[in-house]
């Protein structure tokens, strides 16, 4: 069995486990307007790579941690990611009609309910993350650090700040430094949170937390560049959305600034640097993180 097949199985197994938990993450007994619950569930359970939850789990496992301890954070970060996609797709933002091969949330439920569904998923994420307090193996200090970083990495200093910079800089970006800032925060910050929170639930040292942060930013940028490339040469059926949307929206991307070949070389460099950070930090079980790095940047969807 090849490593690629092994890591594919690993991802599929944990995606199924995360999906099962997400089905229960909005308690059925809560009195929520039906339309709001349906809009939340529509996007949350629409599929996707579940990249961020997988990183939470893989980081915990790299230190011998338990999946059960990491799962509340895995669900929380997927809710944050999903809310950001709902809002990104709105007419005032990217104005997209399809996400993951299905009509976007606002196309099904209307703009107002889509906004509210995103708001509700954002706040529900903090409810899920707070459940780490219920695990006796996780100290109050660890749990508080996780909640604090979730707010930092997903908020104005993190993902939302990156989205704002992207919106403000559209069609006016001329330097890689500007693009790196956007990608570092819009994409990288939530990946870094995922890795560090998985490390925290498993008792990571400061050195290991720093390595996870470096790994996350390098892989996050490589992941985004690969997205830019797939938007040019990808398969619409596999991607679940039209290609060349960046070009149609006149967005400046890595391939636009560097060219396709140089962008592919940049992905290889970033992936190597990410893996070197993990190897140097003496994780007891680093293999899955190292395999994930290659798996993600070699994807075709």
Looking at residue 66, its pLDDT comes to 92
Looking at residue 190, its pLDDT comes to 97
Taking the CA of residue 18 as centre, how many other CA atoms within 13 Å lie in the half-sphere pointing to its CB? 29
Looking at residue 228, its pLDDT comes to 87
In 27-66, where does DSSP find H-type helix? 34-44, 51-62
Tell me which residue of 82, 74, 81, 25 sits closest to 53, measured CA to CA: 74
Looking at residue 191, its pLDDT comes to 97
Looking at residue 177, its pLDDT comes to 84
Tens of pLDDT along the chain (301 residues) come to 344 558 989 999 999 999 999 999 999 999 999 999 999 999 999 988 999 999 999 999 999 999 999 999 999 999 999 999 999 999 999 899 999 889 999 999 999 999 999 999 999 999 999 999 999 989 999 999 999 999 999 999 999 999 999 888 765 666 788 888 999 999 999 999 999 999 999 999 999 999 999 999 999 999 999 888 888 875 555 555 555 565 555 567 888 888 888 999 999 999 999 999 999 999 999 999 999 999 988 877 6
Tell me which residue of 142, 138, 185 sits closest to 164, measured CA to CA: 185
Counting Cβ atoms within 10 Å, is residue 28 exposed (0-12), middle (13-18) or buried (19+)? exposed
Q: What CA–CA distances, in Å, run from 85 to 41, 93, 172, 276? A: 13, 10, 23, 31
Whole-model pTM? 0.91
Tell me which residue of 81, 56, 30 sits closest to 195, measured CA to CA: 56
Looking at residue 230, its pLDDT comes to 87
Helix, strand or coil, per DSSP, at residue 284 = coil
Looking at residue 6, its pLDDT comes to 86
Looking at residue 91, its pLDDT comes to 96
């Amino acid at each position: 069995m090849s490593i690629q097949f092994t890591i594919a199985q690993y991802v599929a197994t944990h995606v199924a486990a995360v999906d099962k938990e997400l089905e229960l993450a909005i308690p059925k007994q809560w009195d929520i307007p039906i339309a709001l619950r349906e809009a939340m569930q529509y996007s949350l359970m629409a599929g996707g790579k579940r990249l961020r939850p997988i990183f939470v789990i893989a980081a915990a496992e790299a230190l011998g941690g338990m999946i059960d301890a990491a799962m509340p954070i895995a669900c929380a970060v997927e809710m944050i990611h999903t809310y950001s996609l709902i809002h990104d797709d709105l007419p005032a933002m990217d104005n997209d009609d399809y996400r993951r091969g299905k009509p976007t949330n606002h196309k099904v439920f209307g703009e107002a309910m889509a906004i509210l569904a995103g708001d509700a998923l954002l706040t529900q994420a903090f409810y899920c993350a707070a459940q780490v307090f219920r695990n006796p193996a996780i100290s109050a200090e660890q749990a508080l650090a996780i909640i604090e970083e979730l707010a930092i990495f997903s908020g104005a200093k993190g993902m939302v700040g990156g989205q704002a910079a992207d919106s403000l800089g559209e069609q006016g970006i001329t330097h890689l430094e500007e693009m790196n800032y956007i990608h570092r925060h819009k994409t990288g910050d939530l990946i870094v949170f995922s890795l560090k929170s998985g490390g925290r639930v498993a008792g990571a040292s400061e050195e290991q937390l720093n390595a996870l942060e470096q790994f996350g930013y390098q892989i996050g940028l490589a992941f985004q560049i690969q997205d830019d490339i797939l938007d040019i040469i990808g398969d619409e059926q596999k991607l679940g959305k039209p290609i060349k949307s960046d070009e149609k929206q006149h967005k400046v991307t890595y391939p636009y600034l560097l060219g396709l070949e140089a962008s592919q070389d940049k992905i290889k460099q970033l992936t190597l640097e990410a893996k070197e950070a993990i190897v140097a930090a003496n994780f007891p079980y680093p293999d899955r993180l190292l395999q994930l790095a290659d798996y993600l940047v070699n994807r075709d969807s």
